[in-house]
């Protein structure tokens, strides 16, 4: 939406899913970190059922369930063996139906994960048939290729692609049929062949089956990976010292994926009048991602890109190598680029800063020091809720959960990506340094800032044993801070992080310029402050957001100032709507004239006068 949009255009562009607050739970994810109703040690559907009123109290509109399907759990639920069955570790289909009904009774909606780039290997019936012989009717449901051979007669994979996890080949040899199958993730996750119309037809049928059961939409896992480059050529050699290379654009954002998604829209989403959220990893420019969510293209409603998650990684990518010298201007540039250019292109973002694949943002962007943590978590809430795009809140974000304690050893990390990374690095150090037990302290410090497990510790409900998550032994260790940082304690405290989040969710709906208004970044080169406005002339609303993200020694915050006049921001008559410091709201509060004096980690949101 451009600044001169008409009221009619604005009204037509409104949609319930744009205004919604979505809550991602681990109720079904990686043996589950949300709530266990008994003593299994991992979350269950019945455990989640007991917490449905909690979402309503917070101000949530949509619940996103990560995979609950039957799975051998090689990748914690993202390796599905039966798309139409609930995994027994989470409960029964009746349990799922009870959760669905409770969500709908509270006036909320339910979104399910759709994982259709790949399935489980030996435990999915499709792959069992595909693997049984080269002549099986389902052989072409997956991507099989014969081997190549070196000049010396050595058998080689069909190309040089490496998988997303690990640095070896993305191809797995099948001795029985004497061919390789492709897996862009684990070898237990063979890729489906989307070129086969029978595969797509079966996926559409499965989606309709869930929609008929009452699902309100789908979040689609790595949906921009489903199309592969014709001929499956070798990937460019970007790592000269490695045999296998990232597949990159040979299987990310291929032109063919848009053909498949248009068909999905025509056959499923349009018919059911439902929504689709596309997870779209990769490092391409905004214009490659916008088409997925431009309404006239008739594909998806929004995209879940990863670009802003690279701000504290070496090389600017999505690897797990931490860059302790990251710059605020780089973080702002990444966010600003997507906030501005996605709107200009007519697309729509999924607005998230934490999820199951990323560390906790309080630890990454601000400070998890005990004296800073609450104020920083509130500052993060002010940032998150004032960005453009459908709001996605990750489990525990609303109580300020943080990364794993620095004292924890590598045995506490459960994620397959991290385990593989540590094993490969240990092997490399053993080989290059000749040490049987190399020092891994630096690697673990990096994992403490980048590993996916940082966001996967069990939800902290109260101060009882295991944080009220389970009466059994949790699948993953509960964070050591749970007695101080938990839902029960914060819900009873009107000044808590949880209470602040509740106010911010309400503020976002009251001032819808925060949803539909144009995003204007200010003072983009400032290394201490993040400042922007959200402007909607149709609503006669302009909001100014000022966030002090200045970091001092040891990562603690520092005071700073901001001159509003320098950026042509008129504070006369401005009303302070929200701040994370202890002052009265409502009145004008602009400090010394045009210059704001900001405390460490202070944030302010103003409604500017229209004079």
Residues identified as active-site: 221, 279
Q: Which residue has the tokens 């369930």?
A: 65
Residue 277: DSSP 8-state: E
Q: Which residue has the tokens 């009619």?
A: 8
CA dihedral 7, 8, 9, 12 (to 10 degrees): 120
Q: Which residue has the tokens 């990686």?
A: 30
Q: Which residue has the tokens 């602009």?
A: 590
> Cα separation of 391 and 114, whole Å?
19
Residue 266: DSSP 8-state: I
> Cα separation of 483 and 466, whole Å?
9
Of the chain, the end-to-end C-alpha distance in Å amounts to: 23
CB 609 within 8 A of CB 539: no
Longest Cα separation, the chain = 80
CB 373 within 8 A of CB 362: yes
Residue 546: DSSP 8-state: E
541-548 vs 529-536, strand pairing mode? antiparallel
**All residues at 6 or more sequence positions from 197 whose CB lies less than 8 Å from its CB, including other chains:** none
Secondary structure (3-state) at 324: coil
CB 356 within 8 A of CB 66: yes
For residue 320, report the phi and psi dihedrals to the nearest 5 degrees. -110, 25
> Cα separation of 180 and 183, whole Å?
10
> CA dist 586 to 471, 534, 578, 589, Å?
46, 18, 8, 9
Q: Kindly write down the DSSP assignment for every residue of 68-101, as one continuous string.
A: -EE---TTTTSS-SEEEEE-TTT--HHHHHHHHH
Q: Express the helix, strand and coil content of the chain in percent, nearest 5 each.
A: 35, 20, 45
For residue 217, report the phi and psi dihedrals to the nearest 5 degrees. 170, 175
């Amino acid at each position: 939406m451009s600044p001169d949009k008409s009221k009619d255009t604005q009204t037509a562009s409104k949609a319930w899913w744009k205004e919604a607050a979505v809550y991602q739970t681990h109720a079904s994810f990686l043996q589950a970190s949300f709530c266990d109703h008994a003593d299994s040690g991992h979350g269950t559907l019945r455990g989640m059922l007991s917490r449905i009123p909690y979402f309503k109290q917070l101000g949530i509109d949509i619940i996103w369930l990560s995979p609950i399907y039957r799975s051998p759990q090689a990748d914690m639920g993202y390796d599905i063996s039966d798309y139409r069955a609930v995994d027994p570790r989470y409960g029964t289909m009746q349990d799922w139906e009870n959760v669905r009904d409770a969500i709908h009774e509270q006036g909320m909606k339910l979104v399910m994960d759709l994982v259709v780039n790949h399935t489980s290997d030996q435990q999915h019936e499709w792959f069992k048939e595909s693997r049984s012989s080269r002549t099986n009717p389902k052989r072409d449901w997956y991507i099989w290729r014969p081997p190549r051979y070196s000049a010396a007669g050595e058998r080689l994979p069909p190309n040089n692609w490496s998988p997303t996890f690990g640095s070896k080949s993305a191809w797995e040899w099948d001795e029985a049929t004497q061919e390789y199958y492709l897996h862009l993730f684990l070898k237990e996750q063979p890729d489906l062949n989307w070129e086969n119309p029978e595969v797509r037809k079966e996926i559409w049928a499965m989606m309709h089956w869930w929609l008929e059961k009452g699902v309100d939409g789908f979040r689609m896992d790595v949906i921009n990976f489903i199309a592969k480059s014709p001929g499956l050529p070798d990937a460019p050699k970007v790592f000269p010292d490695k045999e296998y290379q990232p597949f990159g654009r040979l299987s990310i954002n291929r032109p063919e994926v848009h053909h498949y998604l248009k068909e999905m829209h025509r056959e499923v989403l349009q018919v059911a009048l439902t929504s689709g959220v596309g997870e779209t990893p990769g490092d391409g420019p905004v214009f490659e991602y916008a088409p997925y969510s431009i309404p006239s293209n008739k594909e998806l409603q929004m995209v879940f890109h990863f670009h802003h998650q690279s701000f504290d990684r070496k090389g600017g990518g999505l690897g797990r190598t931490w860059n302790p010298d990251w710059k605020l201007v780089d973080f702002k540039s990444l966010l600003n680029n997507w906030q501005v250019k996605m709107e200009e292109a007519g697309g729509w973002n999924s607005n998230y800063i934490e999820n199951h694949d990323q560390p906790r943002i309080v630890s990454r962007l601000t400070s998890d020091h005990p004296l800073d943590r609450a104020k920083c978590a509130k500052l993060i809430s002010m940032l998150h809720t004032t960005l453009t795009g459908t709001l996605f809140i990750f489990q525990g974000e609303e109580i300020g959960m943080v990364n794993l304690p620095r004292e924890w050893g590598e045995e506490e990390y459960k994620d397959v990506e991290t385990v593989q990374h540590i094993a490969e690095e240990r092997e490399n150090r053993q080989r290059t340094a000749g040490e049987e037990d190399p020092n891994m302290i630096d690697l673990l410090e990096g994992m403490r800032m980048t590993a996916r497990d940082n966001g996967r510790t069990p939800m902290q409900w109260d101060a009882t044993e295991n944080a009220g998550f389970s009466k059994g032994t949790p699948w993953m260790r509960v964070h050591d801070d749970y007695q101080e940082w938990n839902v029960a304690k914060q819900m009873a405290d009107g000044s808590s992080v949880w209470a602040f989040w509740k106010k911010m969710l309400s503020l976002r709906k009251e001032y819808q310029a925060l949803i539909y208004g144009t995003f204007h970044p200010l003072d983009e080169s400032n290394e201490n402050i993040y400042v922007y406005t959200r402007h909607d002339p149709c609503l006669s609303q302009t909001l100014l957001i000022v966030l002090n993200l200045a970091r001092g020694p040891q990562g603690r915050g520092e005071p700073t100032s901001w001159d509003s006049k320098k950026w042509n921001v008129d504070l006369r008559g401005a009303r302070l709507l929200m701040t994370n410091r202890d002052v009265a709201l409502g009145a004008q509060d602009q400090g010394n004239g045009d210059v704001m004096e900001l405390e460490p980690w202070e944030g302010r949101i103003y409604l500017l006068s229209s004079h």
